[in-house]
Structure 1
């Protein structure tokens, strides 16, 4: 994997630009735009909220309802490495139902890497669900490596809330919809700084509409998918398109890995 555009051309430590970047060089390549993510100055509230998606060359975010049909070996490698330094993995309920998130979300190697750097061995896991239409006996809950944080609304069904409170910490983040500003506040209150989100499209749409997404890491797969696969962003049309700055670009075997910083609306 080689770097075509580097996020830190000067001023900050940067990995060597080789044709075969190591795991540590890639983690450094994707580091938030400050040297120390624990200093509390990543963004307006001390958080850095990163979204990670894969798309085909013709814009499909899924094949037969799942994203894994678009991934390349390089994408799978980056997918794991982006989780590695995260304080919390943030994901929407639809993505959990479609993709399956049961069990450990980081490897034993990732755990060792984290522990060696003073991080807890596994990132926290936060699930966004406005309706709480979730099965408390699913592997997401029963095989969870850490007790999940469930971000929901005051309007969610009381019976579902009671059942899910047995297997997760349930926190209200809005009345009818889980609001991105409140989600950020809850995560900040819990001491999280680097927030790594894997979608889905509705969650990215909500954060983008609110102007509260900081970064998009997009894997562009050298595939044409056709069909009716949705795009990486969902929900209502934005009031105006959200601008982004390209701050990093990698390439391997025809796949492009774009790192964008979302500009403030």
Structure 2
């Protein structure tokens, strides 16, 4: 695996592990959560292969996936994706753990699951096998037995009013917990919701060197179509054809009405 980054003067370099962390580091001085999404897609735009995004992964994608988790305060995910991808807690290497502590981050970031109905299995490895208990953001109207079971299993449950868990509810819950550097790993519906509500600060997208076709969906899905201009902060390539781009908006982490 050989990463190559094109720089402004037209030359190329191979970034070290330190370089990768610098390339993907969050902006300093955040006053509100900076929400970064990470997705992989095929050349023809499929978000999954055989129903799972893991089927599109490459060594370079998996490497950057780990770097992004090393940098974040919390991993945000929808409950459907957590079930489909069989999520567990974040696993951090000893080296990354030391780096995180030295850079004013908790040793291990929690998983934050969004679910209107508190539909998270309290016996799943996400709850019982995680070093850091997950945070579940759900509705006040979610079944009380589910909420109780999750709390009894050690999960932190945050409830919000309304008929759905809105993007502002998610952002406020993250901010109240002091979680500012956010890595959202999906799924497409949560991405679409955040995009509709203008909550997407960054998108790290990997183009996997494969064609899928079929009826696989896109990385973002919603009932509306809106344009959100972004700019590439950097572009990396691997010698197997993988392309990794970090797209950013102009003012990440600013409060949104």
- Output the TM-score relative to the length of structure 1: 0.87
Structure 2 unaligned spans of 5+: none
Counterparts of 1:139-150 in structure 2, within 5 Å, are 139-150=125-136
Cα offset, 1:175, TM superposition:
1.7
Structure 1 unaligned spans of 5+: 10-16
Question: Could you say which residue in structure 1 is the equivalent of 2:33?
Answer: 47
Q: Deviations over 1:157-209 (max 9, x none)?
A: 22212211223111123422111111111111111111111111111111000
Task: Evaluate the alpha carbon distance shift between residue 163 and residue 187 of structure 1 in structure 2; reply closer, same or farther with a 3 A threshold.
Answer: same
Measure, in 2, the Cα distance between the counterparts of 1:218 and 1:188.
Answer: 25
Task: Evaluate the alpha carbon distance shift between residue 135 and residue 222 of structure 1 in structure 2; reply closer, same or farther with a 3 A threshold.
Answer: same
Question: Could you say which residue in structure 2 is the equivalent of 1:159?
Answer: 145
Question: Could you say which residue in structure 1 is the equivalent of 2:186?
Answer: 199
Please say if residues 5 and 250 of structure 1, whose CA atoms lie closer than 8 Å, have aligned partners that are also in contact.
no
Question: Could you say which residue in structure 1 is the equivalent of 2:103?
Answer: 117
Does residue 248 in structure 1 map to residue 198 in structure 2? no
Question: Could you say which residue in structure 1 is the equivalent of 2:120?
Answer: 134
Q: Deviations over 1:66-102 (max 9, x none)?
A: 1111111011000000110111111111111011222
Measure, in 2, the Cα distance between the counterparts of 1:181 and 1:5.
Answer: 37
Please say if residues 216 and 262 of structure 1, whose CA atoms lie closer than 8 Å, have aligned partners that are also in contact.
no
The 3-state SS of whatever aligns with 2:108 is coil
Question: Could you say which residue in structure 2 is the equivalent of 1:4?
Answer: 6
Cα offset, 1:144, TM superposition:
1.4
Measure, in 2, the Cα distance between the counterparts of 1:56 and 1:174.
Answer: 38
CA RMSD of aligned residues (A): 2.0
Q: How many residues align?
A: 247
- Output the TM-score relative to the length of structure 2: 0.89
Q: Deviations over 1:25-44 (max 9, x none)?
A: 01101122x3x3xx334xxx
Please say if residues 90 and 110 of structure 2, whose CA atoms lie closer than 8 Å, have aligned partners that are also in contact.
no
Cα offset, 1:106, TM superposition:
2.5
Does residue 98 in structure 1 map to residue 84 in structure 2? yes
Cα offset, 1:48, TM superposition:
0.9
The 3-state SS of whatever aligns with 1:84 is helix
